[in-house]
Structure 1
Amino acid sequence: MSLQSSQLDSEALAWITLASAQSVSPKLWLKALEQYQLSSVELARNGLSLPDDIKQLTKNISPSLVDAATNWLQASDNRHIVPLSSSYYPELLRQLDSPPLVLFATGDKALFQKQQIAIVGARRASHQGKRIASDIALELSNNGIVVTSGLAMGIDSAAHQGALSGTTGTIAVMGTGPEKVYPAKNSKLYESINNDGGVTVTEFFPGQGPKPWHFPRRNRIIAALSLGTLVVEAKIKSGTLITANLAADMGREVFAVPGNILHAYSEGCHWLIQQGAKLVTNTNDILNEVGVQSAQLGLNVDEQNEKSTANSLATDKLLASVDYDITAIDVIAQRNALSVSQAMASLLEYELRGLVAAVPGGYVKLRGK
């Protein structure tokens, strides 16, 4: 045993040791604990008195992975190893048939004890989809809900960023070891989550890179951690729908944002709604379902007036001429009998208010009628 290993308490080290046997499912270890009335420490010792079938399991323990875990932990005070026996271990995750024996976390591990909603979706998401994910995540965070996602590009990234702008934080579940950022493009987001009120978490040991079979395992954790899963844009055959189906199988809520019937990334959401997922058009649709009262009900008079102004602006003809899909500027100009320069000048105000966004090929509507 290394010097670093000796600095962990014996119970945590025992759980790490058992988890290092990568070919043995957690379910088998937990069954052995119950069947033979052993503690995790006794099970991990591989003593002569252990039953023969347990000794066979302990042959799969990897001392090198145990050392990798303890060395990783020692490198920073912001790193945590959360064993199944820890009070920080998420209660909903314990309900899995084969829960991870240890979690490797960086950041605020107290978030594991808070209510969570998962937001997942397409990696190649539309501008509109990313804006919806970010806005809903921000509002959930401001209402005391932790937003959980998978640190992927597209919808996942937008959800994490939106939640970080709020007051509660975000959890990023990784399909790699805790120090391996995948995709590498999300390195800055990973650092922001770790250092600005969020937490990254994984069941994979330090040093382990992305493998295809890691991500279904990651998805089951996302679904298990959360009270419900919101899908924002997904194709019919996608990992996103796997996560949603896992959530449904666990008896958790499934939510979906509807979209353009001609868009491939709306197909998954529409299929989920047909199967009974709750259709979501605003954050209150989620909060009402999970029993959280929206903080927006407490708006003061000035905030209400500001919202009323925005809403009235959102109903006028110019905004109505911009679609939720990309609308060319010459089409907008034609619909309003304006020159292109006049239309662009008018749209600038909407852009500043967050009602539209300029994108390659024209504009997209973000909110409003």
Structure 2
Amino acid sequence: MYQVVNVDDEKYPSLLKQIKDAPKNIYYKGNFKEDIFSNCLAVVGSRKISSYGKWVTQKFVTELVSLGITIVSGFMYGVDATAHFAAVKAKGKTIAVMPCGIDLIHPSILGHLYQDILNSNGLIISEYEGKFKPCLWTYPRRNRIIAGLCQAVLVVEAQERSGSLITARYAKKYNRKTFCIPGQINSVNSKGIINLIKEGSTIVGEVSDILDFYQIKYSSIASSKMFDSDNLIIKNLMLEPMDFDTLCEKTGLRNEQLGSELTMLLLSDKIIEQEGKYYTN
């Protein structure tokens, strides 16, 4: 069951309210609390994501959510879905902005992700109620909401006419920061990125480039602690396979930190997950 918040309500997101064409109503499901709207970063990009784009998105999102960044994206396959999934997997916060009615799961193939976001204390929003079907014009309209909710936008991969470039342009219109991940210059997924760089977007080489903008510290000490925590996780799993809650109890790590580090261990093939339990690989 969805709920609705009006632009005149106190709980309406303050950053979104600042844009001239803010939606009058936001229909939503899930965690509509003030803390989910602080430190929001839009992560957008190509629907035809490459293996490099997938790796970059997972790596950046996993580390960013562990430090309190909320990931906002447009719930499409490709970079959007990868960003939402990585945030959920790392027990972080994510907001999906739909191009359709709040009761319609689009694309339907991502139905499992839709439920995963809600089950992990995330948020799904739309300016359309019920099962309003997406149209060509609703996608760019959705992109203005993505940009409006966030202090910054990160574009991972983008072809020359990618919809993610619309989000980046809205961000510039709203005086929000735009970041982009560099790629191979001969890749079609880099054409839009190259144009963004020419237009003044900031190139990102590591997570700390983004955290500096949010004034969140990411020191070598933190990296060292993460390495120590990885060893702690593996040592416990060498004793016996464990589920998330048991690992949390045994290691003493916070949910967000444990989720982030488990994701990185899974990506590096140091552990595997089967039927809710983690095993050393």
Query: CA separation in 2, counterparts of 1:170 and 1:124?
Result: 21
Quick check: 1:121–1:232 contact (8 Å CA) kept in 2? Answer: yes
After TM superposition, the structure 1 = structure 2 runs for residues 325-336 of structure 1, keeping only pairs within 5 Å, are none
Aligned pair partner of 2:18 in 89, 95, 99: 95
* Letter in structure 2 aligned against 1:155: V
Q: SS in structure 2 opposite 1:151?
A: coil
The normalised TM-score by structure 2 is 0.78
Quick check: 1:142–1:295 contact (8 Å CA) kept in 2? Answer: no
Q: SS in structure 2 opposite 1:117?
A: strand
The worse-fitting range, judged by mean Cα deviation, of 159-168 and 251-260 is 159-168
Q: Which has the larger radius of gyration?
A: 1
Quick check: 2:54–2:79 contact (8 Å CA) kept in 1? Answer: yes
Query: CA separation in 2, counterparts of 1:191 and 1:227?
Result: 26
The gaps in structure 2 that reach 5 residues or longer are: 232-266, 272-281
Quick check: 1:223–1:246 contact (8 Å CA) kept in 2? Answer: yes
* Letter in structure 2 aligned against 1:232: V
Any idea what the Cα deviations from partners look like across 1:283-332, whole Å, max 9, x if unmatched? Answer: 1111112222227643456826979xxxxxxxxxxxxxxxxxxxxxxxxx
Quick check: 1:144–1:167 contact (8 Å CA) kept in 2? Answer: no
Aligned pair partner of 2:107 in 159, 183, 203: 183
Q: SS in structure 2 opposite 1:179?
A: coil
Any idea what the Cα deviations from partners look like across 1:215-243, whole Å, max 9, x if unmatched? Answer: 11100000010010000110111211111
- The number of aligned residues is 235
Matching residue of 1:204: 128
* Letter in structure 1 aligned against 2:44: V
Any idea what the Cα deviations from partners look like across 1:110-168, whole Å, max 9, x if unmatched? Answer: 15532200000000111210121122111111110100000000000000011112343
Query: CA separation in 2, counterparts of 1:244 and 1:85?
Result: 27
Q: Which has the higher contact order (CA 8 A, sep 6+)?
A: 2
Matching residue of 1:286: 210
Quick check: 2:37–2:70 contact (8 Å CA) kept in 1? Answer: no
Change in 2 beyond 3 A, CA 1:306/1:186? closer
Matching residue of 1:275: 199
Aligned pair partner of 2:154 in 204, 211, 230: 230
Matching residue of 1:161: 85
Query: CA separation in 2, counterparts of 1:103 and 1:257?
Result: 31
Matching residue of 1:71: none
Query: CA separation in 1, counterparts of 2:205 and 2:128?
Result: 36
Query: CA separation in 2, counterparts of 1:175 and 1:301?
Result: 40
Matching residue of 2:9: 86
**Percent identity between the aligned chains?**
32
Quick check: 1:228–1:253 contact (8 Å CA) kept in 2? Answer: yes
After TM superposition, the structure 1 = structure 2 runs for residues 106-117 of structure 1, keeping only pairs within 5 Å, are 106-110=29-33, 111-117=35-41
Query: CA separation in 1, counterparts of 2:96 and 2:197?
Result: 26
Quick check: 1:117–1:145 contact (8 Å CA) kept in 2? Answer: yes
Query: CA separation in 2, counterparts of 1:84 and 1:152?
Result: 26
* C-alpha deviation, 1:86, in angstroms: 2.3
Quick check: 1:118–1:223 contact (8 Å CA) kept in 2? Answer: yes
The normalised TM-score by structure 1 is 0.60
Any idea what the Cα deviations from partners look like across 1:218-271, whole Å, max 9, x if unmatched? Answer: 000000100100001101112111110110111100000000111000111122
RMSD between superposed Cα atoms in Å: 2.1
* C-alpha deviation, 1:277, in angstroms: 0.8
Aligned pair partner of 2:174 in 250, 261, 286: 250
Change in 2 beyond 3 A, CA 1:82/1:296? farther
The gaps in structure 1 that reach 5 residues or longer are: 1-75, 308-349, 355-369
Query: CA separation in 2, counterparts of 1:112 and 1:211?
Result: 28
Q: SS in structure 2 opposite 1:106?
A: strand
Matching residue of 2:269: 352
* Letter in structure 2 aligned against 1:103: I
Quick check: 2:37–2:149 contact (8 Å CA) kept in 1? Answer: no
